[in-house]
Amino acid sequence: MYRYFIQPQLDKINNSLIGYELLMKKYTTDGWRPPQHFSDIPAKIIAETLVATTKQLALKIGSVSVNLNRTQLMDSQIDEAIIRSQMQLRPVKLVVELTEEPGDEHWRTEQLLPMIENFTIRCMEVSLDDVGTGENQLAHIEPLIPYATEIKFALQDFTTSFQMSAMQQKVIFWRDLAAKHNLRFILEGIEDATDDATANQLKINLRQGYYYGKPHLLKLQPDDPD
């Protein structure tokens, strides 16, 4: 059984909720667990669960974000589900967070662009997720920047503390790049008050992390396990 959990995204400066990220988990003998790779989830499951979930979301917020890797983005069944979900969510905006995973290497950026353009003409948005990690360096994502509205930097992807100068410089680089291209910049992985204070010092408004709210299950059936 697969279900989406939702986690809040905040504008800390204005003390307001700007949206939710949908995070897919699978129910196992050890409870709800995230998949090792999102590519392990069958496209049919993603499509059906996404449509059922967005049908229930009647949230007075700006956006709902969903993670897709390149392979999933190019799947026609998921593509149709994304479009249906946006229709159900209106006027709430659906944001596709594009992630990079093993197995996506054969999808060239130019192959993604028609699909991304198809989303944007339907008033959806694209977020470049997990920047600065793995293949997601500037040279790799630069061709996608003109089509994006958002960049996300995930502190949890690194073992270095956010309090270290080297990590702060990484965050500043991507913060400034987003500002240069007039993109939103969301810092995720804020775990405690110390991280929160550091984000204040770096003048980062948009944030996500356990400090502001852990992901919680959005049930599709009354008997879904907690």
Q: Please tell me the predicted confidence (pLDDT) of residue 59.
A: 72
Residue 129 lies in a domain: yes
Residue 22 lies in a domain: yes
Residues spanned by the domain of 88: 1-215
Instruction: Give per-residue pLDDT as tens, 207-217.
Output: 999 999 999 99
Count: domains in the chain: 1
H or E element: which one contains 111? Answer: helix 109-120
Q: 121 Cβ partners below 8 Å, 6+ apart?
A: none
Tokens of 179: 């500002």
**The pLDDT value given to residue 50:** 92
Confidence at residue 28, expressed as pLDDT on a 0 to 100 scale: 92
Cα 57 to Cα 10: distance, rounded to the nearest angstrom? 18
Percent over 90 (pLDDT), the chain: 60
pTM listed for this prediction: 0.90
Handedness of CA 84, 85, 89, 92 (dihedral sign): negative
The confidence score (pLDDT) of residue 139 equals 85
Q: Does the residue 220 lie in any domain?
A: no
pLDDT, one tens digit per residue, over 144-187 is: 999 999 999 999 989 899 999 999 999 999 999 999 999 999 99
pLDDT for residue 189: 96
* 104 falls within a domain: yes
* Domain contains 223: no
- Would you say residue 191 lies in a domain? yes
Beta pairing, strands 16-28 & 206-208: unpaired
Average pLDDT, integer, range 130-134: 84
pLDDT at residue 110, rounded to an integer: 85
CATH number, domain containing residue 125: 3.20.20.450
Whether 66 maps to a domain, the answer reads: yes
Q: Which residue shows structure tokens 């995204």?
A: 9
Q: Which residue type is seen at 46?
A: I
- 56: pLDDT confidence band, cut at 50, 70 and 90? confident
pLDDT tens sequence across 62-118:
899 999 988 888 888 999 999 999 998 888 899 999 987 776 677 788 888 888 888
At residue 108, the pLDDT reads: 82
